[in-house]
Each structure stands twice: as C-alpha cells, then as structure tokens.
Chains A and B, each alone.
Chain A
Amino acid sequence: MMNNANNTNIRADFALITNWVSTKAKVLDLGCGDGTLLTHLHQTLQTTGYGIEKDDANWLTALKNGVDVIQMNLEEGLSGFEDQSFDTVILSQTLQAMHNTETIVQEMLRVGREAIVTFPNFGYWRNRMQITLGNMPVSKTLPYQWYDTPNVHLCTIHDFDIFCKNHHIEVMERKVITEGKDVHVLPNLMGNLAMYRLKNSA
C-alpha cells in the first residue's frame, strides 16, 4: 500500500518516525508493506507490535522479515484491536489511498495512545505548478498518472490541520520535509511530505 516515494524521503520519514516512538513501545503499523519500518523500529528501539498489510506479496515479505503481520483491509477499521492497546499507531504514506479516511484516523486514536500520520502534501508548490499548467501532478511522492493512481483522498497540510481541529485531535508535533530536509518557511507551499504526531484532545 505504501507509495513508492523516493528513498531519501522514505529514510527521512522513517528516521523522524523513530524520533516520535519511545523505546520498547508497542507499535501498530497500518499498511506496513514489507515491514521495513517495523523492523527498523524493532532494531533501534526494541519495539514490539504488529503490522497490518492487505497485499499478498508485501504480506509474505513482511513475514520473511520476521514481522508479526496481520492480513486485513484497513477500510474495515481496526475491530479486533482493543481500545488504547498500543503506544503508537502509524499510518505511513497510506492516508491518501484510504477510502474511509475519517474512520481510520479515529480508529488509530481509539487503539493507540498516539498516532503518527504521514502523507504527501498536495499543496507542495510543484504540485500547484503542474495544476496551474493544466495537468494532474506527477512527481516522486505522487508517482502515478491520474488514471492509475491508488490515491483517492489527497490533501494539503492546511486541509489536514483543519481536519484535526474539527475532529478534536491534538497535533503534538508536525514535521514537513522536502528531499529529506526540514521545511520551516511556508510549509504548505514548500513541503512535499507532511508528518503528524497526534493524540486525542483531552
């Protein structure tokens, strides 16, 4: 399910996620792909937990990587997982491909004390430029043509901020990066990957 974003961004993405996960945390990775992130977290922070993956080939690779991987469809929610049973629930570059976007974010915060959500920022200036020139954006973080993209709910950083506010979700931390570098100025314009650390508002 994970988009094939460029490696610099994947590594930056994973490194930053690692900063937001505590040692020995219990982690649930939604759309865990081949299990690279969970393996990385386990090796660096001795985390435990599970991955969820729908695709057969990814699922099998995750198993080979030693991940406890559950094959299920995230669109159906996280029934089967108890309330507040994980320290951190991660959705890495999968949000934009979800149909039940609202449900999954709420489910993440039901099951986890914290959630980490990362997604390609549709507001990135290169995307805006391509739209202005009359085409749907195609880039390293959005590597699909309009007719074959799995992405159905693309959003901007601005959109996601409003989403969190309306759903009583507290943004604990936010990072915006482009080509692996932090973006501080005009993030919704200059950043191509957005990362959020979330929890329910008290």
Chain B
Amino acid sequence: MSESNSVGIVKAQVAHFTTPLTLQSGDVLPQYHLSYETYGKLNAAKTNAVLICHALSGNHHVAGRYSPEDKYPGWWDNLIGPGKPLDTNKFFVIGLNNLGGCHGSSGPSSVNPLTDKPYSATFPIVTVEDWVESQARLLDSLGIQQLAAVIGGSLGGMQALQWNIAYPERVRHAFIIASAPNLTAQNMAFNEVARQAIITDPEFFEGDYYNHGTVPRRGLRIARMLGHITYLSDDVMGEKFGRKLRHGELKYGFDVEFEMESYLRYQGDKFAGEFDANTYLRMTRALDYFDPAKAHNGELSQALKGAKAKFMVISFTSDWRFSPARSREIVQALLDNALPVKYAEVTAEHGHDAFLMPDPHYHAIMRAYLEQIKV
C-alpha cells in the first residue's frame, strides 16, 4: 500500500483453545477458537502489548487492509499505525473477534466441532466477563503476561473496565472510551426492540435459520437502523440530512422520501448482508448484563477496589447513548479508590459514533497519553 502510516496488508490468525471455558451462565464451552490480528512487533520483554476490545458490531480487523484492493481498512485504522496516535512502531497491537462473534471466532454461525453443524441457537450466551477470560487466555497463548494498555470504546470500554476487575495485575493502563458502568433502562430498551425485530422475523426460526436456508434479514436490518439512530446526535443528523428530499419532491408514498431514510435503509441493508443475527442478539445481551457494581450493592467503587492500572476515561458531549454522565460515574469510582485517572469530555457533534472519528483533539489526547507509556 502506498498509504503512509498504515499498518499495510494484514492477515487474520486463529488461536485454538482446548481447555474448557466455564461461562457466567454456567454453560461450558469445551473448546473454541478466536480470530485475531496483530500489528507492530512484540518486544523481547513483552511489555508493549496493547489489546483492543471491540464494540457491538466490531471484530478483530482493527487496522490495515487484507489486500490493496480492499475498499475499507480495519474499523479503527485512523488511530492505529506507524506514526498514528497508537503507534505501531512502539506498540504491539492485538485485535480479536470476541466469542459469539461472526467474523471467525467461535460463535453461532461457526461449526461446532462436536456436531459438524453450525452451533446455531445452541451457542451459549456470553458475557463481558467471559470475553475478558477468553482474551486473557489469548494473551497467555501469545506469552504476554501484562498489557501496556487495554483500549475499548462502548461495549469495548466495558471489557477494558472488566480487565481491571478480573486481572488487575495484568493491566498497566486502561482506556475506557464512550462507555458506561452498566446500561440504563432506556439503553437496554433499544436493545430489546432490536432483538424483538430479529426474533419475530419469520425467517429467524428460533435462531436455527442456517438449517432452513434463510437469513432474518428484515429483523437485522431494522435492528441496525434503530442502532444507527441512537449512535448519532440530533444535530449531526440534522446537519447531514435535515429534511432533504431524495427525489426533490414528495411522492406521497412509503418509498424513500427523505435522504435520512435512504441512509438508514442503506446502513440496514449493508449490515444485514454481512452480520449474523444470532451474534447480534448475543452482543446486545452482553451489553445488558454487564453490571460489575451489582455484586457490591451497586457500589462501583467496591468493584474496582483491586484495580491497579492508570486510567484514561473519555466521553463525548453529544453522545446520548453513552452519555458523559455515565463516564463520570466510572471516574467517580476510580477517584474513590484514589486511582490515577485522567478524564476528558470531548466536545464532538457525532454522538456515540464520535469515538471512532478522527477528531483532532480526541486523537491528540490519545497520542499524548500513549506517548507517555513506557514500554
């Protein structure tokens, strides 16, 4: 690639695990595999590893391209690369696809080696806690004892937080971006509508659509359209689409009239063609279930009592799905424990999506902090 400061052409790898994983639900995965990618070089002392935890629809393809013809790079390519804020000349960056995913890791759409059929609806519900456990095993397999940093946005931020609860001694720095210590009722309500759209799709077949040769495309499409509304701010939707008409005049029907509708339908169709509905159900449940304070009478500070890392918490002013107030709850719990924490409330118009945007101030923060980490 001629692209300067890109990690270039990348290749996914797969790690197989045969030690059974007992999940929060009590279910056991006897064996599983995880897709992952790495960028940069692990140093001899293995002190420069950074783990990227993905959000709802993310995966292990975080940076670079699979081929020069690839239309899009990895989902956080603007952050990661030689000379970029997360500099791959310095850090060894690991991205993985979480368990239950649909991009190469064991999940509902992957083949269960015990039956030689897709797991389908039998794939268990996995949680943020389960993911962190599987991520720790991936690090074990790579010989990495301690992370220089764990970085995650949204659902990824929950995993970054959980790392400090499950494996505090294995994290030196934690970036919790556009996240929350749990979901509010309103936030979970959006997930429930999304799931209902999928589950009530006649082509869902209780999750066994692979064996029926169908895809619950309509449900997935609606789920994604709803999601997109909540990831954007009112202002940015207004700015991007306003009341602009698709055909310059009203058609008095229910086809696309407004540009906004065209955008949502496009996003919905695109997503329905590439994402697995069973994975979507599981990802939203992982979001709903995460609540580390629950075991401590709702006291998040108690849940974080054992944390040892230095924290960088970032929120975005126009993000109403994971509002700054929710990030401040995390900050408060860290302050209660007198832990080192920096908190930035970035002025940004892009709503929840802002954490994936190359906002200059946001990236300056990431760069400045990451530059200070000694490896």
Q: Are A70 and B331 in contact (CB under 8 A)?
A: yes
- From the candidates B335, B361, B368, name the one contacting A50 in the complex (CB within 8 A): B335
- From the candidates B331, B361, B369, name the one contacting A80 in the complex (CB within 8 A): B331
The secondary-structure label for the interface of chain A is: mixed
> Range of interface residues on chain B?
10 to 19
Number of A residues, CB within 8 Å of B: 18
Q: Is residue B30 within 8 Å, beta carbon to beta carbon, of the partner chain?
A: no
* Given A26-B338, A80-B331, A80-B332, CB of A72 within 8 Å of CB of B343: yes
Q: Is residue A60 within 8 Å, beta carbon to beta carbon, of the partner chain?
A: yes
* Given A26-B338, A80-B331, A82-B336, CB of A71 within 8 Å of CB of B343: yes
How many angstroms between the C-alpha atoms of A71 and B361 in the bound complex?
A: 13
How many angstroms between the C-alpha atoms of A144 and B340 in the bound complex?
A: 36
The residues of B with any CB-CB pair to A shorter than 8 Å are 328, 331-332, 335-336, 338, 340-345, 347, 361, 364-365, 368-369, 372
When distances are taken between beta carbons in the complex, the residues of chain A under 8 Å from B365 are 60, 63
CB distance from A138 to the nearest CB of B (A): 31
Q: Are A60 and B342 in contact (CB under 8 A)?
A: no
- Candidate in B328, B341, B342 with the most chain A CB atoms within 10 angstroms: B342
Interface positions, chain A 39-88, Cβ under 8 Å from B, are: 48, 50, 56, 59-60, 63-64, 66, 68-72, 80-82, 85
Q: Are B342 and A72 in contact (CB under 8 A)?
A: no
- From the candidates B345, B368, B372, name the one contacting A72 in the complex (CB within 8 A): B345
The residues of A with any CB-CB pair to B shorter than 8 Å are 26, 48, 50, 56, 59-60, 63-64, 66, 68-72, 80-82, 85
* Given A50-B335, A63-B365, A80-B331, CB of A71 within 8 Å of CB of B340: no
Q: Are B341 and A68 in contact (CB under 8 A)?
A: yes
CB distance from A66 to the nearest CB of B (A): 7
CB distance from B111 to the nearest CB of A (A): 47
When distances are taken between beta carbons in the complex, the residues of chain B under 8 Å from A70 are 331, 335, 341-343
- From the candidates B335, B341, B372, name the one contacting A66 in the complex (CB within 8 A): B372
Q: Closest chain A residue to B361 by CB distance?
A: A56
How many angstroms between the C-alpha atoms of A50 and B342 in the bound complex?
A: 9
Q: Are B345 and A71 in contact (CB under 8 A)?
A: yes
- From the candidates A56, A63, A85, name the one contacting B342 in the complex (CB within 8 A): A63
When distances are taken between beta carbons in the complex, the residues of chain B under 8 Å from A64 are 368, 372
Q: Are A81 and B345 in contact (CB under 8 A)?
A: no
Q: Are B372 and A59 in contact (CB under 8 A)?
A: no
How many angstroms between the C-alpha atoms of A63 and B343 in the bound complex?
A: 10
When distances are taken between beta carbons in the complex, the residues of chain A under 8 Å from B338 are 26, 48, 85
